[in-house]
Structure 1
Amino acid sequence: MTTSVPSSRELAHPPRGEIRLEEVLHALSDPVRLSVFRELAEAEGELSCSHFDLPVTKSTTTHHFRVLRESGVIRQAYRGTAKMNGLRRDDLDALFPGLLDHLVAAAVRQAARLGD
């Protein structure tokens, strides 16, 4: 996968045409990343990394966000000193119509069933 070359404050994201279904599904196969995905899907806009209370170390949290970004699930951008995260809904809906809605609904049902 080719990603755009970022400056020192920009983060690399795959172009829409290079997002692959298997990478999206792999990114969402981890429970921590799935919970981040669910929160972003339910949010009205972007959320900062510090918004998420994840049960892992800071370095592992960074890894999870990188996997989500590099798979094309999220877009990250610096806003001042905060790294903001948003779901790439437009790109994912264009490539895989209906998939996000089904995944969000399934993730919400699972979280309710498991008490997450």
Structure 2
Amino acid sequence: MPTKAPAPRFTLPPEPAATPEPLPEPGVDELRLETVMGALSDPLRIFIVQKLLLDSEAYDHPCGWFGIDRPKSSLTHHFKALREAGITRQRQYGLERRSQVRIDDLETRFPGLLALVAAWRPAD
């Protein structure tokens, strides 16, 4: 019988000093699977979450770090949808918002979901 590969562990770098408070977001007990899945139904949003999970270089990242060629209003909509669903946490740094995945909260509420998101590939 083949052995099952262990689930990947996603971690955040340590929180820097003087990090702003997060923007409003649902609490862990308020995370709903249908809301999370609805937010992840858009391939661009899955890309954003994958990039944060697999390529993060810092505690949180500004919109420009993702390299997405879309109008700012469109990106704002997608980042807001992810935050309001409870998938990402955003903080305001002056005029810039930076995002990170709520790894611990999502793993607590929906174990294994982030591994599925990280492994997702679009259909050919």
Q: Where on the TM-score scale, by shorter chain, does this alignment land: which range?
A: 0.7 to 0.9
In the alignment, does 2:45 pair up with 1:33?
A: yes
The structure with the greater share of residues assigned to helix is 1
Instruction: Provide the aligned length of Structure 1 versus Structure 2.
Output: 102
What is the match of residue 10 of structure 2? none
The runs of 4+ residues in structure 1 deviating greater than 2 Å are 79-82
1:10 deviates by 5.6
Stretch of structure 1 that moved more, 45-54 or 26-35: 45-54
CA RMSD of aligned residues (A): 1.9
Q: Which runs of 5+ in 2 are unaligned?
A: 1-20
TM alignment of 1:81-96, pairs within 5 A = 81-96=95-110
Q: Which runs of 5+ in 1 are unaligned?
A: 1-8
8 Å CA contact 2:88–2:102 kept in 1: the answer is: yes
Partners of 2:50 and 2:113 in 1: how far apart?
13
Residues 14/61 of structure 1: CA separation in 2 closer, same or farther (3 Å cut): same
Higher RCO (CA 8 Å, separation ≥ 6 residues): 2
What is the match of residue 60 of structure 2? 46
In the alignment, does 2:116 pair up with 1:102?
A: yes
> How does the TM-score come out when normalised to structure 2?
0.73
> How does the TM-score come out when normalised to structure 1?
0.78
Q: Return the index of the structure with the highest Cα Rg.
A: 2
Q: Quick one: which of 29, 36, 39 aligns to 1:17?
A: 29
Identity, in percent, stands at 39
Partners of 2:28 and 2:51 in 1: how far apart?
22
